[in-house]
Structure 1
């Protein structure tokens, strides 16, 4: 079984949390039993998360050797200059080494659901939206990449993994996919 989930902001990509008080987890979203996340999204990121009950499929979806591209819509603080976008396209050096080149383009603000809490708004600081596609998946990679070029991430929504797209799923909704 393969499931596409729109992971809401603030939900952990696991089914249990031992924190006190416990934080929201995937267990509260009514998913079928015996599935687990194939990959991760940070609690402060939103969007497409794939879940499966098939270990071999999970490996194919997450192993960097299979190069599943992941596409994100990223709201950044600041007005991106061509040099900043070019740096992201070439790959940037992070504390754990250089990233692979990324596909990066400016996009109009997408029609998304409201986020709770909302992204901070500052009249004196512009923001912009980028579509960024990467072929690897390090911890908080997109956030670290945009920060490395001077464009801090305000909101991050994953919209596709390989051939699988988020589509019109609302936060917390899921659907079974054909493999």
Structure 2
């Protein structure tokens, strides 16, 4: 079984809390025996896959399979072409890891996304914009560190696509069991 879940902000990608009061996957009534394939940090939202099939973990997470992941990132300020090129060319170092080349671009038109709860920090005199970053790797807090490295801190981060699968109708906090066609789009 393979499940697509739109993880809300503030939810850990695990079934037991690290600290009392933390929100976890346990509150979303998933079928027994499923576990997350990959992670999104607690501050991130969007597409998370869960499964009860151990072989899928390797197929999706092993770097040699290079599955594309697309993130929509609301950043502070407006990145210029040099910023986008620096994000894309693989020159940013995150901790001791040199990020692989990726694709970064400003989303046009800007997506219409429901406001996050709680809302993001807004500064009256500093504009913000949504960019899209397409990666084939996913290190811990990588996208946030990449945007900060080019002077545009992440305000909001959503994973919108894994492989060739996306579901913009999946509302925050909801999930569905994927069809064979959906699975094929993820694994292709």
Pairwise TM-score range, normalised by the shorter structure: over 0.9
Alignment partner, residue 152 of structure 1 = 153
List per-residue Cα deviations over 1:155-179 (Å, max 9, x = no partner).
Answer: 0000001122132111110011123
Q: Once the 2 structures are TM-superposed, how far is the Cα of residue 97 of structure 1 from its aligned partner?
A: 2.2
TM-score (norm: length of structure 2): 0.91
Alpha-carbon displacement from aligned partner over 1:46-97 (angstroms, at most 9, x marks no partner):
0000000000012111111110110000000011111100001102122222
CA distance in 2, matches of 1:96, 1:8: 29
Unaligned runs of 5+ in 1: none
**Residue 50 in 1 paired to residue 55 in 2?**
no
State how far apart, in whole Å, the 2-side matches of 1:166 and 1:48 are: 8
Q: Secondary structure at the match of 1:47?
A: strand
Distance in 1 separating the partners of 2:171 and 2:144: 23
CA distance in 2, matches of 1:29, 1:49: 13
User: How many correspondences in the alignment?
Assistant: 178
SS in 2 for 1:165: coil
* Aligned ranges 1:64-143 → 2 under 5 Å: 64-91=63-90, 92-107=92-107, 108-143=109-144
TM-score calculated relative to the size of structure 1: 0.96
CA distance in 2 between counterparts of 1:18 and 1:85 reads 36
Quote the offset at 1:109 in angstroms: 2.6
Aligned to 1:16: 16
1:163 alignment partner, SS class: coil
Give every structure 1 segment of 4 or more consecutive aligned residues whose post-TM-superposition deviation is greater than 2 Å: none
Give distance in 1, aligned partners of 2:30 and 2:42: 18
Q: Does structure 2 conserve the Cα–Cα contact (< 8 Å) formed by 1:73 and 1:132?
A: yes
1:3 is aligned to 3
Distance 1:123 1:103, change over 3 A: same
Aligned residue number for residue 32 of structure 1:
31
Structure 1 vs Structure 2 CA RMSD: 1.0
C-alpha distance in structure 2 between counterparts of 1:18 and 1:12, whole Å? 9
